[in-house]
């Protein structure tokens, strides 16, 4: 489950930034997760809860919350230039049937924001 490693990295980045800003606690974290990022939101929530409960992450409040913002996949056909929402990384264009469109959105995994005091 690579989500544990991803969450550990995200929490480490948030804690480091919060410390630089003189914060003593992080209460809310928002992540953007693309539908085509190969990251499972439920596994991320599980990892977040595990780290939150253990107290291993500096500055992470024991009652901190996680918000996951879903980024839908969006692609453009390289042949007919139709934009569409693929449900997998290798999807066919709904208009002309050609595979391997150019992925425009949907692979994101990033920290959107965090709040604390």
List residues forming the annotated binding site for Ni(2+). Answer: 2
Degrees to nearest 5, angle at CA 19 with 14 and 23: 100
- Following DSSP, what letter does each residue of 8-26 receive, concatenated? HHHHHHHHHHHHHTT-S-E
Which structural domain, as residue segments, surrounds residue 26? Answer: 3-116
pTM: 0.89
pLDDT band with cut points at 50, 70 and 90 for residue 1: low
> Mean pLDDT, to the nearest integer, of 47-64?
94
Domain count, the chain: 1
Mean predicted lDDT score pLDDT of the chain: 95
> Mean pLDDT, to the nearest integer, of 72-79?
96
Q: What CATH number is given to the structural domain containing 48?
A: 3.30.2320.80
> Mean pLDDT, to the nearest integer, of 56-67?
95
Task: Please tell me whether residue 53 adopts helix, strand or coil conformation.
Answer: helix
List residues forming the annotated binding site for Zn(2+). Answer: 77, 80, 93, 96
List residues forming the annotated binding site. Answer: 2, 77, 80, 93, 96
Instruction: Report pLDDT for 88.
Output: 87
């Amino acid at each position: 489950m690579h989500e544990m490693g991803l969450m550990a990295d995200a929490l480490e980045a948030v804690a480091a930034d919060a410390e630089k800003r003189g914060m003593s606690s992080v209460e809310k974290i928002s992540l953007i997760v693309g539908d085509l990022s190969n990251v499972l939101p439920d596994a991320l929530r599980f990892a977040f809860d595990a780290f939150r409960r253990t107290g291993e992450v500096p500055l992470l409040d024991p009652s901190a919350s996680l918000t996951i913002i879903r980024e839908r996949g969006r692609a453009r056909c390289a042949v007919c230039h139709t934009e569409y929402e693929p449900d997998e990384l290798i999807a066919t264009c709904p208009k002309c049937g050609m595979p391997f469109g150019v992925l425009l959105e949907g692979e994101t995994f990033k920290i959107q924001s965090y709040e604390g005091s």
